[in-house]
Amino acid sequence: MLIRQAPDIRSSEITPERLYRNRRQFIQGASGVVAGALVGGAMLGRYGGLLRAQESIDNLKQSPLSTDEEPNSYEDITTYNNFYEFGLDKGDPARYSHEMSIDPWSVRVEGEMNKPAADVALDDLLRPHTLEERIYRLRCVEAWSMVVPWVGFPLGDLIKRFEPTSKAKFVKFETLHRPSEMRGQRGRSLEWPYVEGLRMDEAMHPLAILAVGMYGKTLLNQQGAPLRLVVPWKYGFKSIKSIVKMEFVEEQPRNSWNVAIPNEYGFYSNVNPEVDHPRWSQASERRIGSFFRMRTAMFNGYADQVAGLYDGMDLAQNY
């Protein structure tokens, strides 16, 4: 079971960044230090400028919503990415995402809600929230995985702020569409802009977060800066990046991969090792940076927390 309770620790006991960046040093230096999730007690000032500089996020405390698995290295996480808006190769996002401007940034929020539709600046979107760092596993359908210390806040907290009505059954997200800066969008690998969605109860689950950082720093562009979704019990492509629109809707959204290849990618995209992808087995995975494969856990290891969301559903049919 990946979710565990963790005691509070003093700021002086938190593993320094220099140890995070070197896996061997991290293993040696973390003895006696709980490698848990961290909760940021302070906001980041004017967020846009900090994003460009990729500043550290200070005053971090521990949170219980974290895996005890060793995080991947900073280099792994920032150079091996799926972000088709910049190209199909795993290295393309790191090569080309600097061409995307993220300051200023705002998110359009609209749909079935009591609050009026609005374009909300990132600073205003973040200001009411306490940032948390949680170590979550991210798994991709290509049967590889990473463990990432994300920094963000619960998606459900933001949803409550806009007071969705009873008609709001789903939350729909859209990625930035700017082909002049996102070279992958000049091709037809997918239908642009990229669209994803969650059922409302999934979106409100405390494990689902909107991430703004990683390893105690603000996100790099290749990771989905400045704002991305992280849903740890689903495959990585559900965790939509560089979000510019959030809409509360009554009908199930047509998410991008389901539109592109409906027989391979469904709406739910829960990690289910008992159901093979049409072109490969999903029963095992390889952690990036490791030679050996491991058995894939149901719901990516979060079954105790989220299985109840799908009671009575056929998870092979609702894939």
Instruction: Give the Cα separation of 185 and 233 in Å (integer).
Output: 28
Looking at this protein, which amino acid is placed at residue 152?
G
> What's the DSSP call for residue 142?
T
pLDDT band for position 15 (cuts 50, 70, 90):
very low
Mapping DSSP to helix (H, G, I), strand (E, B) and coil, where does residue 255 land?
coil
pLDDT > 60? residue 46: no
Q: What are the phi and psi torsion angles at 305 (to 5°)?
A: -90, -35
Domain borders along the chain are 41-56+67-309
Instruction: Give the Cα separation of 70 and 79 in Å (integer).
Output: 18
pLDDT band for position 61 (cuts 50, 70, 90):
low
Cα of 110 vs its chain's centroid, Å: 22
β-pair type (284-287, 144-154): parallel
Cα separation of the two ends of the chain = 23
pLDDT band for position 94 (cuts 50, 70, 90):
very high
Mean pLDDT of 9-31: 36
pTM: 0.84
pLDDT of residue 202: 98
Number of separate helices (H) and strands (E) present in the chain: 10, 14
- Asked if 64 and 36 count as a contact pair (C-beta separation under 8 A), the reply is yes
For the stretch 189-227, pLDDT in tens is 999 999 999 999 999 999 999 999 999 999 999 999 999
Tell which CATH classification among 3.90.420.10, 3.40.630.10, 2.40.50.140, 3.40.1260.10 matches the domain 41-56+67-309.
Answer: 3.90.420.10
Q: Is the dihedral of CA 312, 277, 259, 159 positive or negative?
A: positive
Task: Write the CB contacts of 155 (distance below 8 Å, at least 6 apart in sequence).
Answer: 171, 203, 204, 208, 209, 210, 229
Q: Which two tokens stand for residue 79?
A: 């150079």
pLDDT of residue 57: 82
- Asked if 160 and 225 count as a contact pair (C-beta separation under 8 A), the reply is no
pLDDT of residue 130: 87
Cα three-residue angle 178-268-140, rounded to 5 degrees: 65
